[in-house]
C-alpha cells in the first residue's frame, strides 16, 4: 500500500472506530478508572494472543501495554529499594535467619548492614547475588 496515494474513507473509519471504542475504550489514560480498564483490556489481549507476535491483535496489545506502562510509570513509580532493604526482603521471602547467611557474611557484619550502620561491599554483593541467584547490582547503593 502506498501511503502517499491512499485515500482514507473517514465514514468507514468512523463506523469502525465507534464499534471498536464501544468495546475497548482505547484512549489515553486520565485516571485510575481508565487505568483499570486498560489493564483489563491488556490482560484479555495477553490471554488471546498467547504472547504471539504474529497474532492479529498483537499490535493492539502493544498499544494497550504502552498506554498502561506510560501511565503507571508517571503515577505509580516504585523507588528502588536500598541494598539493606532488598537483602531483608530476600531473607524474609525465603524464611532465612541471619545465621543462614553466616557462610557469606559474619553475623555481626550482617546485623550492622541490616541496621543501616554498614554498607555491603562489592565482594559481599557478588557473594549475595550468587547466593540468591540475582544480580549483585541489587546490593550496590545507587
Q: pLDDT per residue over 72-113, tens digit each?
A: 889 988 788 899 999 999 999 999 999 999 998 999 999 999
The predicted-structure confidence for 108-118, as pLDDT tens digits, reads as follows 999 999 999 99
Q: What is the CATH code of the structural domain delimited by 83-139?
A: 1.10.260.40
Number of alpha carbons in the 13 Å side-chain half-sphere of residue 72 = 11
Residue-level pLDDT at 123: 87
Q: What are the boundaries of each domain within the chain? A: 10-75, 83-139
The predicted-structure confidence for 11-24, as pLDDT tens digits, reads as follows 999 999 999 999 88
* pTM tops 0.95, yes or no: no
Model confidence at 51: pLDDT above 80? no
Contacts with 17 (C-beta within 8 Å, 6 or more apart), sequence order: none
Amino acid at each position: 500500500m502506498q501511503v502517499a496515494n491512499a485515500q482514507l474513507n473517514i465514514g468507514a473509519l468512523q463506523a469502525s472506530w465507534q464499534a471498536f471504542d464501544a468495546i475497548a475504550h482505547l484512549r489515553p489514560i486520565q485516571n485510575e478508572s481508565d487505568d483499570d480498564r486498560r489493564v483489563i483490556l491488556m490482560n484479555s489481549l495477553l490471554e488471546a494472543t498467547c504472547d504471539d507476535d504474529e497474532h492479529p491483535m498483537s499490535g493492539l496489545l502493544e498499544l494497550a501495554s504502552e498506554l498502561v506502562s506510560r501511565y503507571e510509570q508517571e503515577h505509580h513509580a516504585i523507588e528502588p529499594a536500598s541494598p539493606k532493604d532488598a537483602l531483608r526482603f530476600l531473607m524474609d521471602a525465603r524464611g532465612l535467619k541471619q545465621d543462614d547467611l553466616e557462610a557469606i557474611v559474619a553475623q555481626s557484619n550482617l546485623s550492622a548492614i541490616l541496621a543501616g550502620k554498614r554498607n555491603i561491599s562489592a565482594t559481599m554483593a557478588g557473594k549475595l547475588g550468587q547466593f540468591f541467584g540475582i544480580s549483585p547490582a541489587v546490593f550496590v547503593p545507587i
